[in-house]
Amino acid sequence: MGQNNNDGFKVKDNFDDLCYACRTGDVENADRLISMGVNINQVDKFDNSPLFLASLCGHIEVVKLLLERGAICDRDRHEGARCIYGALTDAIRDMLLSYDISKAFDTNQPFATHISSLLKEDELNTNDLLLDCKDDVKFSTHKFMLIARSPVFDTSNPNKLSTTFKDIPSHTLGILLEFIYLIPILHEIRSTDFPDLIKLANTFQLKTLSEFLNKARHMTDPVQKSTLMIAYQYKFTELARNQLKNFVKNDIIGRHIELADDSNILEIPDPAKSLPFPDIYLVVENHTGTKRMYPCHISMLSRADFFKELVKSDFQDGRKYRLRRSSPAKADDVTDILCLELPTCEFGVAESIINYLYYDRADIDPNHAFEVIRIGDYIMASRLKNIAAAVITQSPDVLVSDTIFDVLHLAWETGVERLEQFGAKYIAQHIQELSSSRELYDVILESSRRISSREELDTIELVADIRFYLLGKYDLEPDDISLLETDADDTEFLQSLGLLDYKDDMIALNKIVTDLGLSI
């Protein structure tokens, strides 16, 4: 399988990480890595695919994730057959069979799914461009999407866009738009559509599409054809991701507006006439008090529930948005465009979020990850939070021991379980160094106060988690603990098992709990 990412070396690394995540069942990390564009249908040096590894190791959640993101399980091919035979449990095997490529064709990235939904069911009515075509059918589309996906559109005069296609039959244009909006249509293209489509693809310089069409045109073997489709569907998605990446880089982040401290009114390009044709401005203030404004699109931001609810609701903001749509922008009256301010954060954080929302970019700068989680919490984007959490847990080098408590607090505040577990594990690993830390006392105390919200009333969750990870730290099983009593004399034996160290750690932990006056 070829890689069409320029940064081959880094992606290779990511692929190994993905394989590791598949072996350990780390769903969040796998999701993050897949979102970074790793081709999940390649194999490692032992010829194992991520899907095979996850199946073999019995991680059904990862298997599901991989399948949903387009991992191929084709029984007719060696790889797929191996996955099915290697599946650890019946549940996994059944899932693999249910995704059997000969039955279903589903290869979607979350952002691709979202983009597809914009064409099919534009719930918030975010379109801003009506396309005319030959047979009097009109398509509602988004200017920014067309511009991002095809290099040939004339961006200087957006009004002309609507008539660009007026000589093209609606059927052909429909297919083309579906392609642009990443709807998997390859298997639906009829042979009679090919000539028109190829012409159209060439006109709009959709090279990958015409490449596919030319190849598929003369192919008859269905297996061969389906293999080609899978490969190209992946290519299309990655192509779209790259195009959106460039678009965000050049036309959103690149066109941000610096706001002077004191001025509330400022001159900005007419959003209806100039790139990126935004329908919302995202205002961000960083910690030094500098403000920036990013021209964005509700259609993409609404992947986060905050924006979706805001636009949907019947309050001032939602009305404002709808009002602007219903009365087509008079040049002077665009001051009513939505302007939202995020909680204070670094610009990089805001940009990470925009990147994520537009094309699922998951390689968040670890230094921004904390704030990304916080802002992700604010805008209610839980997947983003998990991905950012995975970034934190994947890069322990950014953690010095005194930030671990911040991690825990953040975890509690934002409800990211992965970080809670991570914190407990870290504390378990470093219990001896931390045992006198005031902050450890504090977090345990805080955890005990959180009891009221838990189901089991008499455990302190953090302490229970730390105990659990202490076992793991010395590779022990719960049953091994009894050896401490039965073989109390054989210190050498206990030492070799690590039980003595374990005992020391437990004493340190228990001391804290007792010092705090908490019952165990």
* Total of chain residues touching other proteins, rule CB under 8 A: 46
**Contact stretch for other proteins (CB under 8 A) within 94-102, 215-223, 301-309, 503-511:** 301-309
Q: Which of 97, 380, 398, 451 binds other proteins (CB under 8 A)?
A: 380
Write the secondary structure of 365-391 as one string of H (helix), E (strand) and C (coil). Answer: CHHHHHHHHHHHHHCCCHHHHHHHHHH
Contacts 24+ apart (CB under 8 A), 438-444: 439/402, 439/405, 440/405, 440/512, 441/512, 441/515, 441/516, 442/405, 443/405, 443/408, 443/409, 444/512, 444/513, 444/516, 444/518
Residue 427, CB half-sphere, CA atoms under 13 Å: how many?
Answer: 31
CB contact at 8 A, 101 and 80:
yes
**Contact stretch for other proteins (CB under 8 A) within 115-123, 171-179, 183-191, 279-287:** 279-287
Q: Which of 341, 475, 487, 515 binds other proteins (CB under 8 A)?
A: 341
CA of residue 363 relative to chain centroid, distance? 10
Contacts of 89 (CB under 8 A, 6+ apart): 58, 60
The enclosing H or E element of 489 equals: none
CA-wise closest residue to 293 among 375, 350, 361, 246: 350
Which one, 270 or 504, has the nearer CB to other proteins? Answer: 270
Q: Which of 25, 169, 174, 318 binds other proteins (CB under 8 A)?
A: 318
Q: Which of 220, 264, 326, 482 binds other proteins (CB under 8 A)?
A: 264
Should residue 326 be labelled a site residue for other proteins when binding is judged by CB under 8 A? Answer: no
Should residue 309 be labelled a site residue for other proteins when binding is judged by CB under 8 A? Answer: yes
Should residue 317 be labelled a site residue for other proteins when binding is judged by CB under 8 A? Answer: yes
Contacts 24+ apart (CB under 8 A), 258-267: 258/290, 258/291, 258/292, 258/293, 259/283, 259/290, 259/291, 259/292, 259/293, 261/289, 261/291
**Neighbouring C-beta atoms of residue 422, cutoff 10 Å:** 24
Which one, 15 or 277, has the nearer CB to other proteins? Answer: 277
Should residue 259 be labelled a site residue for other proteins when binding is judged by CB under 8 A? Answer: yes
Instruction: Output the six-digit token pair for 37.
Output: 């564009």
| Footprint (CB under 8 A) of other proteins, residues 461-480 | none
Which one, 222 or 415, has the nearer CB to other proteins? Answer: 415
Query: How many whole angstroms separate alpha carbon 387 and alpha carbon 209?
Result: 31
Please state the closest distance from residue 270 (CB atom) to other proteins, in A: 4
Which one, 103 or 160, has the nearer CB to other proteins? Answer: 160
Please state the closest distance from residue 310 (CB atom) to other proteins, in A: 5
Should residue 378 be labelled a site residue for other proteins when binding is judged by CB under 8 A? Answer: yes
Should residue 325 be labelled a site residue for other proteins when binding is judged by CB under 8 A? Answer: no
Should residue 288 be labelled a site residue for other proteins when binding is judged by CB under 8 A? Answer: no
Please state the closest distance from residue 145 (CB atom) to other proteins, in A: 18
Should residue 406 be labelled a site residue for other proteins when binding is judged by CB under 8 A? Answer: no
| Footprint (CB under 8 A) of other proteins, residues 433-462 | 453, 455
Should residue 306 be labelled a site residue for other proteins when binding is judged by CB under 8 A? Answer: yes
Which one, 326 or 453, has the nearer CB to other proteins? Answer: 453
Which one, 202 or 313, has the nearer CB to other proteins? Answer: 313
Measure the N-to-C terminal CA separation of the chain; round to a whole number of Å: 55
CA of residue 471 relative to chain centroid, distance? 32
Query: How many whole angstroms separate alpha carbon 101 and alpha carbon 93?
Result: 14
Please state the closest distance from residue 128 (CB atom) to other proteins, in A: 17
Please state the closest distance from residue 317 (CB atom) to other proteins, in A: 5
Please state the closest distance from residue 423 (CB atom) to other proteins, in A: 17
| Footprint (CB under 8 A) of other proteins, residues 142-181 | 155-156
Q: Which of 275, 304, 362, 381 binds other proteins (CB under 8 A)?
A: 275
Q: Which of 34, 83, 173, 310 binds other proteins (CB under 8 A)?
A: 310
Residue that is written with structure tokens 């959180």 in the block: 450
DSSP 471: H
Write the secondary structure of 99-125 as one string of H (helix), E (strand) and C (coil). Answer: CCCCCCCCCCCHHHHHHHHHHHCCCCC
| Residues in touch with other proteins (CB under 8 A) | 155-156, 259, 264-271, 273-275, 281, 283, 285, 291, 293, 305-306, 309-310, 313-319, 331-332, 334-335, 337, 339-341, 343, 377-378, 380, 413, 415, 453, 455
